[in-house]
Amino acid sequence: MQNEELVRSVTERAEKWLGPQYDEETRAEVKALIEAEDKTPLIDAFYKDLEFGTGGLRGIMGAGTNRMNIYTVGSATQGLANYLKDTFRDLPQISVAVGYDVRNNSRKFAELTAAVFSANGIKVYLFDGPCPTPEVSYAIRKLGCQSGVMVTASHNPREYNGYKAYWSDGAQMISPHDVKTIEYVNDITSVDQIKFEADKSLIQEIGKDIDDQFLHDIHTLSLSPESNRRHSDMKIVYTPIHGTGKRLMYDSLKMWGFENIIHVPEQDVQSGDFPTVVSPNPENSEAMAMAVEKAKETGASLVLASDPDADRVGLVVRDKKGNYQLVNGNQICMILLYYIITKNVENKLLNGNEYVVKTIVTTEAIKRIADKNNIRCMDCYTGFKWIADVMRNMEDTGRYLGGGEESYGFLAETFVRDKDSISANSLIAECAAWAADKGMNLYELLVEIYNEYGFSRERGVSVVRPGKSGHEEIVAMMKNFRENPPETLAGSPVTCIKDYSDLNCRNLKTGEVEKMNFPTTSNVLQFFTESGDKVSVRPSGTEPKIKFYVEVRERMETKEQYEELVKVAENHIDKILEDLGVK
C-alpha cells in the first residue's frame, strides 16, 4: 500500500497544474495522472522538482514538476536569464547561443528557450537545425557569447530530454556560476515569473557559416595529412545513430582526405524515436550492430559512430581473425592520446610544457604513456566541465594535447570546451591511416600500445534504480561502502581508499591520511589493491543509477598473449564485482 501522506502531498502539488496558467494539453495529462488508480506515475511526476543541477536539467518528458516540459525548461531559462542580467549588467548586449539535437521536443524546447531569453532582452543565436553539442560550445566562444544552452539528453533512451547550460568560455558551468544559477532558478516559484513572449528581433538563426568555420578549425588538428592522402580510399563505415553527427561528420572526414565513407542509410534518418536501436548509445554493441553488418558487407575494417548529440564516439575495429571488436571508451582515449603524443614526438613539437587530462575513473594506462614521454598527466573529476576547468587554469602555462574520459568522450582542441566526436572521429580515421603506413590496423595498434606500456582491462557497470525508492537505495549503497569498505578484492588486499566527499586518501598499510588537491568535493569512492587494480564507485549526476568502474592489471610479456589476457582480466573483473555485491 502506497504511503497515503505522500499521495496526498503529490496530489496537492499536481492540482496546482490544473490552473489556467498551464496549457490545455498539460492540464489534461495532469488530470489523467490524478484520476489514475495506480498513483506511481503521479508520484514520479510530482514528488519533487526536476532539479537544475550543476549540468542543467535531464529527465523524462511529460507533465509534472519532475519532468522535462515547457514549464520546467521555461523556469530554468528564466533563472539563467536573471543571473546573466545581474552578472553582465554593464554589457550593452548580453548574448547566448542555443542549439538542440534530434530528440522529440528538442526543437520546441530550444525555441522556447530562445523566446524566454529574448523576452528578457538577451540576444539569441539559434541554430537552424539539429547540431552537435560541441558546435554550441564552439559558437559560444566564436560569437563572444556570455552563455549558451544545448537541448539534449545525450545518449539517454528516447523518453528523455535535457538542457545543458554553458558559460562564456564554452564549458559547462562550475562554481561559482553553477551554484548561483541554481539559486536563481530556484527563485522561480511560479509560472507567472517566466517571460514567454519572444522578442523576435533579438533571435538570429545561425548555421552554415558556423559549420564551415568549425570544420576548418577542426582540420587544423590533422597531424598526418600525408598518411590520409596515401589511404584516402580506406573503407570507413560511419553512423550518426539517427543523430546530429550527420550535419558535420561526413564533411569533416572528406576534408581530412577520406573519400570512401560508407553510410548506414537507415541510421542517417534523424529521428527522436531512434527507430533502429533500443538505446542510441555507441558504447552498446546493439547500437553498433547495423554499422558492423555494413562493414562486413563492404569489407571495411573501421566503424565509427557518434551518439545523438555527437559528443560521444563509437569505434569498432577488425581483429586478426576478421572479427569485429567494439573498442571501449578507455581504449579510445588511450589510442588517441598515444597517437597525438607519438606524432608530437615524431614531428619534434614538444617543448616541455605539454599536458594531457583524464578523469579519475579513466584508465591509468594514459598516465603511463604520458609519464614515459615526459608529459604531465592531470586527473580531474568525471565530466568534461572539469577537463575544461584544467584547460582554463593551464591556459597561460601549458599546451593542451588532449583529454578524455571512459564514457566515450574525447577533446583534442582548445577552441571547444566539451567532448567532440567530430574531431575525435576525424583523428581516429587519421590514426588508422598512420597505423596502416606502419603495416597495422587499429586493433593491432591497440595491442602494440599494451605491449609497450602494460596491459590493463576496464569495465563499467551501471546499476539502475529509478524513482524515489531507487534514489534512496543508491544513497544507502554509498553509505554502506563508506562504513564497510571491502578488505580484499579478487583476493588482493585493499591498500588505499580515496574518498572524494572529504578529499581524504587513506593508506591502509601505514594508516596515513593525505588530503587530495581537487577544486571541490564529490560523491566518489575509490579502492586500490596491492595487485594494482582500481575500483571507482559513484552515483550518476544525470541518471538514476550508481556506476562501478573496475580496472585490473595483468602481466603481458608478448603481443601474442593479448587475447588470452583479455579472458583472464574479464574473470578477474567478475571476481571483483562479486566481492562488491554487484550483479
Kind of pairing between the strands at 525-529 and 534-539: antiparallel
Q: Of residues 147, 154, 407, 536, which has the active-site annotation?
A: 154
User: Does residue 108 contact residue 70 with C-beta atoms inside 8 Å?
Assistant: yes
Closest by alpha carbon to 330, among 462, 446, 221, 472? 446
Q: In whole angstroms, what is the distance from residue 324 CA to residue 326 CA?
A: 7
450 CB burial (10 A radius; 0-12, 13-18, 19+): buried
Chain Cα centroid distance, residue 566: 26
| Rounded-to-integer distance, Cα 305 and Cα 135, Å | 17
Amino acid at 326: L
- Note if 190 is an active site residue: no
What does the block give as the cell for 233?
Answer: 580510399
Element (H, E) at 404: strand 399-405
Between CA 400 and CA 411 the distance in angstroms is 10
Cell digits of residue 237: 563505415
Query: Which residue do the cell numbers 528538442 mark?
Result: 106
- The 3-state DSSP class for residue 351 equals coil
Q: How far apart are CA 291 and CA 527, in angstroms?
A: 37
- For residue 167, give the H/E element and its range: strand 160-167
Contacts of 424 (CB under 8 A, 6+ apart): 313, 332, 336, 410, 411, 412
Exposed, middle or buried, 39 (CB in 10 Å: 0-12/13-18/19+)?
middle
Q: Are 310 and 421 in contact (CB under 8 A)?
A: yes
- When computed from its CA atoms, the radius of gyration of the chain, rounded to whole angstroms, is 24
- Phi and psi of 238, rounded to 5°? -130, 135
What type of residue sits at position 479? K
Report the half-sphere exposure of 552 (CA within 13 A, side-chain side): 21
Helix (H, G, I), strand (E, B) or coil at 41: helix
3-state DSSP of 107-162:
HHHHHHHHHHHHHCCCEEEEECCCCCHHHHHHHHHHCCCCEEEEECCCCCCCCEEE
- Which contacts (CB < 8 Å, 24+ apart) does range 438-447 have? 441/301, 441/302, 441/317, 441/318, 442/301, 442/302, 442/315, 442/317, 442/327, 442/335, 443/317, 443/318, 443/319, 443/320, 443/325, 444/320, 445/335, 446/317, 446/327, 446/331, 446/335, 447/559, 447/562
Residue 176: asked if its preceding bond is cis (omega within 30°), the reply is yes
Catalogue the active-site residues.
154
